[in-house]
Amino acid sequence: QVQLVESGGGLVQAGGSLRLSCVASGRTVNRYTMGWFRQAPGKEREFVAGISWSSGSTRYADSVKGRFTISGDNAKNTVYLQMNSLTPEDTAIYYCASGANIAVLVTTSGYAYWGQGTQVTVSS
């Protein structure tokens, strides 16, 4: 009922920036929070950032706090992830997710719908 499509990934040098986008389509109800997760080879999928549509409140993983910024545009049904000061440790596939909880959750179980992912590679 909800479709998510990520874009904006690519190859960037350490210290550079990228902006990821996630466009949501389908039903517009019961869509309270949006989150970004990432998964590197051999690693578990981990929470990166999340935002509440109703309040605009945000939440970040400690590893990206101060470097990444999540924002949303309700009119365009789009969520963005601005990524600055990138390091090789940020290399991963980044996934967009949608959840029904009012509060931003940091576990994958808190989100019902997922995008296909977009690759981010940071060279040193």
Share of the chain above pLDDT 90, in %: 81
Tokens of 66: 């101060």
Give the model's pLDDT for residue 28. Answer: 62
Q: Which long-range contacts (CB under 8 A, 24 or more apart) does 48-53 make?
A: 48/81, 48/94, 49/81, 50/104, 50/105, 50/106, 51/79, 51/104, 52/102, 52/103, 52/104
Give the model's pLDDT for residue 41. Answer: 93
- Compute, in degrees rounded to 10, the torsion defined by CA atoms 98, 65, 19, 117: -40
Strands (E), 14-57: 18-26, 33-39, 46-52
Give the span between the Cα atoms of 26 and 6, in whole angstroms. Answer: 15
Give the model's pLDDT for residue 75. Answer: 86
Q: Which tens digits make up the pLDDT trace of 36-77?
A: 999 999 999 999 999 998 888 999 999 999 999 999 998 898
pLDDT category of residue 104 using cuts at 50, 70 and 90: very high
Mean pLDDT (whole number) for 5-25: 97
Give the span between the Cα atoms of 16 and 98, in whole angstroms. Answer: 28
56: alpha, beta or left, given left = phi > 0 and alpha = psi -120 to 50?
left
Give the model's pLDDT for residue 85. Answer: 98
